[in-house]
Amino acid sequence: MPYSNAFSHVLSDVIAPSAERTVREGRFPRGSVTALGNAGLLGLTVSADLGGGGRGLPEAAEVVARIARTCPVTAAVLQSHYAAVAVIEACGHPWIRGEIAAGRHLSSLALTEDAPGDHGGYAQAGAPHSPAARSGDVVALRARKREVVAAGEADSYVWSSRPLTARDGLTLWLVPAHAPDLFVPARPDGAGPHGSATSTVLADPVLVPADAMLGQDGEGHDIVSRTVRPWLLALRDAVGAAGVHPSVEAAAAAPPAVGGPGQLSAVAPAATALR
C-alpha cells in the first residue's frame, strides 16, 4: 500500500477518533504512534535499503502538518522523532536504523539542559554543561535534560554532552531509554501539548557503550546546526504557530550553533505528495 494511502487510513481510523480523548485526558498517544509505525510512517525518512520509506524532509513535514490539524499531541511527538531520526540516519548504526524502518522504534531529542544561571531554551543544545567520561568501552553521561518530548515513552534519545577529549564543541550520543539510571519524574514538568509526555530526563549517570557516539567527538555543533535545527524549523513552518511544540519554537528563535543564516537556505518547503 502506498504511503499516502496508509497514512490516510491511520489519520482517519486511529489518530482522529482518539485525538479529543488524548488531549482531554493527557494520555500519551501510544495507539497512534504504534499505528504510524505499522504503516511505515515512523521509518518514512530511513533509507529504502534498510526497509524505510526513503523519503525526505518535505514528506516528513507534510505528515506532521496533516497530523497537527487533527492531533497536536501526536504531531509534537513526531516532530521530535523525525528530527532525531535525521541524526540517526546520518550517523547511527544500521541496526537501529532498521528498527526505526520497521516501525519498532520511537526516538526523541534530549538536547536542552539545566545549568546554573540559565533560563531554559533550546539554545543550550549549542553549549552543553553536562560531562561525559570514558572508562574502557563505556561512557558515563550525567545531565538533567529539559523539555524532552516522549520522555519515558520513546525508545531512545539523541543526547548531547561536552566532548570526551576535544577542546570545545559538543558530542552527540544515542542513549537507550531502557538504560539503567535514567529517571523521568512521575509528573511531567515540561511545556508542550498535554499528553506529549514532555518532561525532564535525569542521568546520574547513565552508562552507554562508547560506540553509541553519533558522529565524531566534539563535532555535534555541526550536526545540530546542519541537521537538527533545519529539520525542526521546517516542521515548525509546516504546522504553523498553533501546532508548534515549545522546544521547536525556541529552536527557531535561537541563533545557529555554528555558521550563519545562510546555512538554513537549503530547508525545503513541505511537499504535498502525501495528500
User: Looking at the domain covering 109-219, what would its CATH class be?
Assistant: mainly beta
Highest mean pLDDT among 95-99, 162-166, 196-200, 218-222: 95-99
pLDDT digits (tens, 9 = 90+) for 227-245: 999 999 999 888 875 455 5
| Residue 119 pLDDT > 80 | no
φ and ψ at 99, to 5 degrees?
-65, -40
- Report which of 198, 189, 214, 101 is spatially closest to residue 154, judged by C-alpha positions: 198
**What single string gives the DSSP state of each residue in 143-162?**
EEEEEETTTTTSSEEEEEE-
According to DSSP, the residues that pair with 214 across neighbouring strands are: 172
Q: Where in the chain is the domain with CATH 2.40.110.10?
A: 109-219
144 strand-pairing partners: 202
Beta-carbon-side half-sphere exposure of residue 141 (alpha carbons within 13 Å): 36
Three-state SS at 261 = helix
Q: Which homologous superfamily does the CATH classification assign to the domain defined by 3-105+221-266?
A: Acyl-CoA dehydrogenase/oxidase, N-terminal domain (1.10.540.10)
How high does pLDDT run on average in the chain?
Answer: 84
The amino acid sitting at 260 is: G
Nearest of 267, 263, 244, 266 to residue 255 by alpha carbon: 263
Least confidently predicted of 23-37, 38-52, 112-126: 112-126
The pTM is what? 0.86
What pLDDT does residue 101 have?
98
Spatial CA neighbour of 125 closest among 37, 251, 271: 251
Q: Where in the chain is the domain with CATH 1.10.540.10?
A: 3-105+221-266
Lowest-confidence range among 80-89, 165-174, 182-191, 226-235?
Answer: 182-191
